[in-house]
């Protein structure tokens, strides 16, 4: 590790903290009245990043939070949309299916995360349930209360051990009061979406909520053949949520969700250096990009005493996915049909015990997780073929995985220093077992196991009520696995990361300005790297994961600013700088990324309240894939705008109407690049949203 470089970053953060600490404490100036606080201050967001409810500003973790209103303003519908507000997050689409997204954080991820023998570096959680496979993550997500994005290694508090970070999606709970909300969207390229939320009045301590969603899209690239337009899809989903509170100390939540995509076609692969809106030839191949996913989740919260509570999260999920794409000669003019399919199911049980001992200055959490999954998946290419293969027609990948984890986290606030210092220590013991079968030429079966203990330690000092600085040390591990889609089954080792981080979080000027900054240094041992190679044994190329031969080092600076300079006006800016060093090429790891935006809410008038919003996000040059050489994506800057008229009263109902435009400048940019084949991002899109709340 380069100690000097990290120490210089640490001293920079410490000097910033000292400078802010020299200012008068924020509590010395009266706060705005509660009635005006929403209009004159940066909003507080309550998160559960440390398994307890607290302000996001009080958590000594590099963290992005998006509230329900934030998500509405960016037009959030799936996890890829988070990129607009989280520069450190780089969602990467898969070439043969637009339904597979690899979530990459701080330059680490897994381009083969659809394989049941290759775990993601960034954990995805929906209502505390770990989602192992990123298939179907482009499914519209509806009725979300907030999203928490934790940057950096996670393990002492969250379900699975992850090296890159975690994305936690929290659904809105049943209200127990009668209410209906209907949201309708219509836009260009034949896009439409309807979302219905129905809350049922509480009956004998039981509250129910029903969410129903349908959406459709005609696709960005026209195909004059019978195979369908590229990118087209139709989705339908339903979610039923129930909350039972027989007594104040016990809450039982159950949720069932089911979603499908039909008539789907993957994104268009082209060898053109310019975006196209029409396929170069009629394609009659029966293309497909469809899925079905469903799941059950049961969460029990029980306050044993006023100082001790227990939580159980039980879940079962399953999915099927099927995709076929005619590449239209994008790969050096070859007539290739690419395909992938997957059948997977998973089950998990997580048990947590949380408590506090104020007389000792202690808060603690201890937990255990059991996770199991199994699946069958195929992925490959046919040169000159036209039919979609069945799983039995090829050598499919088969995977069975089991993971056990025990973790604990303790925060001690000693009496010294006026109880301004928090000392937190945690650790996680992990055991993983997996069996895999695969190989496109030589088919074989193998098994592997691994284990790790990963500690964490942090010091958090509160200079004032609204300013604190922290330093943090953490280790994390990602289990090894097998490359199932190489010419023969190939094993790769677990990945280990050691992270050093320092940060400052500050609310200034009566909470009208928020300033967060963190610096980090990460050392990766046996870093897992995805590579494609030209191999005579494979129809086009073999794809496999290997381990970097030497330690890979990542240095970075991340920051968030948010301000309310005057009533009605809100501005934000998020920033990420990443410097990578190692003997491999790091994909989807731009050196510079940032996003910024502003919204203004005008004075209410007779008809309603008008709000205007613009946002801009930028990513620097980055490597899209390694296939014989490094294939670049290039830089991109995207501008979005939204104009909404809210709080329109129609009888007893409230109506909102919004016009929105994404990619206002119609920027041409790549989202995928490998072996002479490219996928372009969406062109300018626009639409109208009408929402009615009864």
Q: For 593-628, what is each residue's pLDDT tens digit?
A: 999 999 999 999 989 999 999 999 999 999 988 877
| Residues 447-452, mean pLDDT to the nearest whole number | 95
pLDDT of residue 57: 83
Rounded to 5 degrees, what angle do the CA atoms 629, 635, 640 make? 145
Calculate what percentage of the chain has a pLDDT beyond 70. 89
DSSP letters spanning 557-594: EEEEEEE--STTEEEEEEEEEEEEESSSPPBT--SEEE
CA 621, chain centre distance (Å): 21
Alpha-carbon gap, residue 363 to 303, rounded angstroms: 15
Alpha-carbon gap, residue 26 to 270, rounded angstroms: 56
Nearest to 636 by CA among 598, 665, 678, 602: 665
Residues β-bridged to residue 493: none
Residues β-bridged to residue 676: none
Q: Please list, in sequence order, all residues whose beta carbon lies within 8 angstroms of the beta carbon of residue 463, skipping any fewer than 6 positions away.
A: 17, 20, 21, 420, 469
In this predicted model, what pLDDT tens digit does every residue of 205-235 receive, in sequence order?
999 999 999 999 999 999 999 999 999 999 9
The three-state secondary structure class of 599 is: strand
Q: Where are the alpha helices (DSSP H) in 335-469?
A: none
Exposed, middle or buried: residue 178 (CB in 10 Å: 0-12, 13-18, 19+)?
Answer: exposed
Alpha-carbon gap, residue 77 to 193, rounded angstroms: 10
The three-state secondary structure class of 26 is: helix
Q: How many CA atoms lie within 13 A of 503 on its CB side?
A: 29
Alpha-carbon gap, residue 172 to 243, rounded angstroms: 11
Residue 45 φ then ψ, to 5° = -125, 125
pLDDT of residue 336: 81
In this predicted model, what pLDDT tens digit does every residue of 57-109 receive, in sequence order?
888 889 999 988 888 888 887 888 888 899 999 988 888 888 888 889 999 98
| Cβ atoms within 10 Å, residue 683 | 16
| Residues 630-640, mean pLDDT to the nearest whole number | 93
Rounded to 5 degrees, what angle do the CA atoms 340, 285, 343 make? 20
Residue 387 φ then ψ, to 5° = -100, 150
CATH code of the domain covering residue 271: 2.40.170.20
Residue 551 φ then ψ, to 5° = -70, 130
DSSP letters spanning 643-669: EEEEEEEETTEEEEEEEEEESTT----
User: Across the chain, what does the average pLDDT equal?
Assistant: 87
Alpha-carbon gap, residue 603 to 39, rounded angstroms: 11
| Residues 499-513, mean pLDDT to the nearest whole number | 95
| Cβ atoms within 10 Å, residue 622 | 26
pLDDT of residue 439: 84
Exposed, middle or buried: residue 583 (CB in 10 Å: 0-12, 13-18, 19+)?
Answer: exposed
pLDDT of residue 157: 79
Residue range(s) defining the domain that contains residue 206: 3-693
C-alpha torsion sign, points 251, 346, 92, 341: negative
Nearest to 51 by CA among 144, 175, 150: 150
DSSP letters spanning 29-89: SPPPPHHHHHHHSPPP-EE-TTSS-EEGGG--S-EEEEEHHHHHHTT--SGGGGGGT-TTE
Alpha-carbon gap, residue 125 to 170, rounded angstroms: 8
Please give the order of strands across the beta sheet that includes 144-151. Answer: 63-67, 144-151, 165-171, 122-126, 129-131
| Residues 545-563, mean pLDDT to the nearest whole number | 94
DSSP secondary-structure letter at 112?
Answer: T
Q: Please list, in sequence order, all residues whose beta carbon lies within 8 angstroms of the beta carbon of residue 277, skipping any fewer than 6 positions away.
A: 220, 221, 222, 683
pLDDT of residue 443: 86
Q: Where are the alpha helices (DSSP H) in 201-261?
A: none
In this predicted model, what pLDDT tens digit does every residue of 382-424 receive, in sequence order?
776 555 554 445 557 899 999 999 999 999 999 999 999 999 9
Poorest-confidence range of 368-372, 374-378, 530-534?
530-534
In this predicted model, what pLDDT tens digit does every residue of 322-335 receive, in sequence order?
998 998 888 877 77
Q: Is the CB of residue 257 less than 8 Å from the CB of residue 201?
A: no
Strands 101-105 and 89-93: antiparallel
In this predicted model, what pLDDT tens digit does every residue of 235-293 receive, in sequence order?
999 999 999 999 999 999 999 999 999 999 999 999 998 999 999 889 998 899 999 99
Give me the torsion for CA of 461, 464, 466, 468, rounded to 10°: -20
How many distinct structural domains can be found in the chain? 1
């Amino acid at each position: 590790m380069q100690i000097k470089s990290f120490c210089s970053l640490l001293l920079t953060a410490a000097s910033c903290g000292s400078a802010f600490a020299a200012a008068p404490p924020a509590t010395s100036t009266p706060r705005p009245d509660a009635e005006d606080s929403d209009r004159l201050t940066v909003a507080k967001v309550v998160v559960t990043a440390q398994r307890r409810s607290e302000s996001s500003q009080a958590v000594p973790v590099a963290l992005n939070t998006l509230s329900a209103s934030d998500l509405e303003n960016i037009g959030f519908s799936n996890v890829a949309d988070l990129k607009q507000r989280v520069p450190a997050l780089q969602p990467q689409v898969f070439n043969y299916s637009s339904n597979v997204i690899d979530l990459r954080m701080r330059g680490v991820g897994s381009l083969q995360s659809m394989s049941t023998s290759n775990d993601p570096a960034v954990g995805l959680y929906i209502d505390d349930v770990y989602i192992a496979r990123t298939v179907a993550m482009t499914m519209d997500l509806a009725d979300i209360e907030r999203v928490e994005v934790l940057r950096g290694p996670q393990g002492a508090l969250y379900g699975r051990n992850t090296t890159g970070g975690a994305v936690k999606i929290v659904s809105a709970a049943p209200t127990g009061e009668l209410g209906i909300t209907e949201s309708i969207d219509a836009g260009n390229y034949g896009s439409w979406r309807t979302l219905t939320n129905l809350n049922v009045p509480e009956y004998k301590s039981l509250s129910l909520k029903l969410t129903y969603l349908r959406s459709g899209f005609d696709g960005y690239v026209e195909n004059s053949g019978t195979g369908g337009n590229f990118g087209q899809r139709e989705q339908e989903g339903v979610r039923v949520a129930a909350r039972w509170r027989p007594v104040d100390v016990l809450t039982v939540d159950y949720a069932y969700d089911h979603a499908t995509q039909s008539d789907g076609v993957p994104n268009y692969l082209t060898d053109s250096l310019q975006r196209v809106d029409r396929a170069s030839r009629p394609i009659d191949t029966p293309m497909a990009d469809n899925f079905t996913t469903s799941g059950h989740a049961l969460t029990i919260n029980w306050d044993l005493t006023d100082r001790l509570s227990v939580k159980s999260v039980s879940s079962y999920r399953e999915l099927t996915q099927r995709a076929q794409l005619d590449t239209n000669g994008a790969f050096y003019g070859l007539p290739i049909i690419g395909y992938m399919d997957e059948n997977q199911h998973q089950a998990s049980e997580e048990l947590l015990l949380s408590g506090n001992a104020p007389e000792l200055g202690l808060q603690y959490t201890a937990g255990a997780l059991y996770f199991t999954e199994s699946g069958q998946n195929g992925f490959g290419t046919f040169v000159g073929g036209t039919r979609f293969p069945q799983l039995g027609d090829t050598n499919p990948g088969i995977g069975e995985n089991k993971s056990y984890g025990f973790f604990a986290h303790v925060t001690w606030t000693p009496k010294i220093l006026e109880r301004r210092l928090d000392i937190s220590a945690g650790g996680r013991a992990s055991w993983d077992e997996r069996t895999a079968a695969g190989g496109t030429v030589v088919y074989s079966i193998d098994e592997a196991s691994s284990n790790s203990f990963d500690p964490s330690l942090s010091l958090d000092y509160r200079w004032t009520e609204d300013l604190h600085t922290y330093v943090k040390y953490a280790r994390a591990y990602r289990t090894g696995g097998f490359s199932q889609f190489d010419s023969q089954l190939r094993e790769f080792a677990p990945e280990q990361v050691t992270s050093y981080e320092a940060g400052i979080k500050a609310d200034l000027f009566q909470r009208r300005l928020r300033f967060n900054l963190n610096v980090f240094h990460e050392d990766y041992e046996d870093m897992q790297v995805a590579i494609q190679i030209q191999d005579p044994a494979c129809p086009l190329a073999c794809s496999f994961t290997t381990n970097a031969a030497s330690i890979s080092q990542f240095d970075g600076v991340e920051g968030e600013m948010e301000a309310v300079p005057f009533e009605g006006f809100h501005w934000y800016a998020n920033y990420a700088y990443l410097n990578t060093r190692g003997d491999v090429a790091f994909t989807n790891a731009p050196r510079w990324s940032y996003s910024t935006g502003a919204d203004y809410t005008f004075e209410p008038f007779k008809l309603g309240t008008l709000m205007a919003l613009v946002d801009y996000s930028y990513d620097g040059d980055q490597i899209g894939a390694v296939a014989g050489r490094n294939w670049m994506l290039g830089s991109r800057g995207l501008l979005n705008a939204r104009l909404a008229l809210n709080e329109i009263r129609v009888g007893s109902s409230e109506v909102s109407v919004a016009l929105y435009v994404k990619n206002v400048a119609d920027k041409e940019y790549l989202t995928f690049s490998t072996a002479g084949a490219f996928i372009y991002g969406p062109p300018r899109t626009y639409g109208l949203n009408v929402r009615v709340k009864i």
